[in-house]
Amino acid sequence: MPDDNLSAILYKTGDLRLENRPIPEPQDDQVQIRMAAVGICGSDVHYLVKGSIGDFVVKAPMILGHEAAGVVSKVGKNVTNLKVGDRVAIEPGVPCRYCDFCKTGRYNLCKTIFFCATPPDDGNLSRYYCHAADFCFKLPDHVSLEEGALLEPLSVGVQACRRAGVTLGSTVLICGAGPIGLVNLFVAKSMGAAVVIMTDIAENRLTKAKELGANFTVQIQPGQTAEDTAKVIEETLGQSPDITIECSGAESSIKLAILATRSGGVVTLVGLGPPEVKVPIVNAATREVDIRGVFRYANCYDAALALVASGKADVKKLITHNYKLEETLEAFETSRTGAGGAIKVMIHC
Ligand code: NAD
Ligand code: ZN
């Protein structure tokens, strides 16, 4: 067992350092986890490059990382669901448990939720980390710690597909084939979608989408209008999609999501781009296209784990690069630049 607690700490924009921090002791309801696998998420990179996402601003040094799994190394005195040696995936958001949102099951909307690596809350890209025991999910022996880490983005897919109402026979358009678009592909297929069509501007991401089961892909060309793309999609499918899951955040793509969706259908907005965009709202209103937000996930980890454990979502295929904790800066550089066709970069602690 390592006796240091090397941690990846973001001091401010562009200033990420590896430093030793004291090994934390678990509180009564927590477990201490020897961290194993932490995936780099677009938001980690965004905090490093821009120092903020919306109203969340890095004002004090913060440990990065929230797509994570590890091995329980100590348990608090009230913990009964886990024991030392258990391999666990960590659901990074621990809500207040008392507000209306928490009590009605929509705890992702809790205003005082603790969330790893959302300022000011520390993440878990470190050797040791303590977390509420009931937000840790024990992994079956045949599910790897890397797959455990990937339950985090997969849960975003579960939340988005549930919010969109994907069901048996659905025709689904997924805009953007980054890690989040791709996990939505896994979930939509598992929930019974008959056909999934995906867009991206990058050819290599669409190649991956095909490999992972997308029925059709459409590469968005520079200058191509959303109206034209909507036509291409309709011609390709022989109908308009019932559901569109927007996973790029690009204004033109949100516009496409609305225009391409069949009347009476649903658009879910997963991608988070500019805070204000121009979209064809009257088109949506007069065709009763419902536009629904998606924010992280609530009660999705169990389903995400079941998808992986049953072999329905082969999330390890998203991992393109692996680094050691000591190589964190290089890992972030790979994720930031997308060098070598990077999709999901995994750090081993
Ligand atoms: P990513 O940047 O790796 O992927 C985005 C993909 O969209 C890229 O492959 C890019 O080429 C593609 N793209 C860009 N412009 C496009 C366009 N006009 N049309 C089609 N594709 C286009 O990011 P990711 O990790 O996959 O995350 C996707 C989005 O989801 C981000 O905006 C992220 O902030 C957001 N996100 C939201 C939540 C949530 O809770 N709502 C959770 C996680 C991530
Ligand atoms: Zn709450």
Q: What is the DSSP string of 173-207?
A: EEE--SHHHHHHHHHHHHTT-SEEEEEES-HHHHH
Tell whether pTM > 0.95.
yes
Q: Is 285 exposed, middle or buried (0-12, 13-18, 19+ CB in 10 A)?
A: exposed
Burial class (CB in 10 A: 0-12, 13-18, 19+), 98: exposed
Note the ligand closest to the C-alpha atom of 43: 1
d(CA 228, CA 206): 19
Question: Is 295's C-beta closer than 6 angstroms to any atom of ligand 1?
Answer: yes
Task: Answer whether residue 308 is part of any domain.
Answer: no
Please indicate, yes or no, whether residues 184 and 114 belong to a single structural domain of this protein: no
- Quote the ligand 1 centre to 176 CA distance (angstroms): 6
CA-nearest of 38, 136, 10 to 344 is 38
| Position 306 in a domain | no
- Counting ligand 1 atoms within 8 A of each CB, the residue from 200, 228, 246 with the most, and so the one to mutate, is 200
One digit per residue, the tens of pLDDT, for the chain of length 349 reads: 889 999 999 999 999 999 999 999 999 999 999 999 999 999 999 999 999 998 899 999 999 999 999 999 999 999 999 999 999 999 999 999 999 999 999 999 999 999 999 999 999 999 999 999 999 999 999 999 999 999 999 999 999 999 999 999 999 999 999 999 999 999 999 999 999 999 999 999 999 999 999 999 999 999 999 999 999 999 999 999 999 999 999 999 999 999 999 999 999 999 999 999 999 999 999 999 999 999 999 999 999 999 999 999 999 999 999 999 999 999 999 999 999 999 999 999 9
Task: Tally the domains of the chain.
Answer: 2
Q: Which of 174, 218, 177, 210 is nearest to 193 (CA)?
A: 174
Per DSSP, what are the bridge partners of residue 173? 197, 244
Task: Decide: 61 in ligand 1 pocket, CB within 6 A.
Answer: no
Same domain assignment for residues 270 and 333: no
Of 90, 66, 92, give the one whose Cα is nearest residue 139.
Answer: 90
Residues 119 and 54 grouped into a single domain: yes
Per DSSP, 327 falls in state G
233 CB near ligand 1 (under 6 Å) = no
Q: Both 117 and 211 in a single domain?
A: no
Domain co-membership, 95 together with 193: no
Ligand closest to 97 (CA) is: 2
Residues belonging to the chain? 349
In a domain, 327, yes or no: yes
For residues 161 and 141, membership in a common domain is answered with: no
Both 211 and 266 in one domain: the answer is yes
CATH number (domain holding residue 217):
3.40.50.720
Residue to substitute in 208, 272, 336 for testing ligand 1 pocket (most ligand atoms within 8 angstroms of CB):
272
Task: Decide whether any atom of ligand 1 lies within 6 Å of the 91 Cβ.
Answer: no
User: Which residue has the least CA distance to atom 14 on ligand 1?
Assistant: 248
Query: How far apart, in whole angstroms, are the C-alpha atoms of residue 150 and residue 146?
Result: 6
Same domain, 55 and 34: yes
173 lines ligand 1 (CB under 6 A): no
The preferred substitution site among 203, 219, 248 for testing ligand 1, maximizing ligand atoms within 8 Å of CB, is 248
Phi, psi for 219 (deg, rounded to 5): -85, 120
Distance CA 176, CA 31 (A): 37
* 136, 172: one domain: no
Residue type, 178: G
127 and 10 share one domain: yes
Measuring CA to CA, which residue among 108, 133, 132 is closest to residue 118? 108
Same domain, 242 and 283: yes
Write out the residue range of the structural domain in which residue 85 sits. 6-149+314-348
In this structure, which ligand is nearest to the CA of 102? 2
Kindly identify the ligand whose nearest atom is closest to the C-alpha of 114.
Answer: 2
Q: Ligand 1 pocket, 201 CB below 6 A?
A: yes
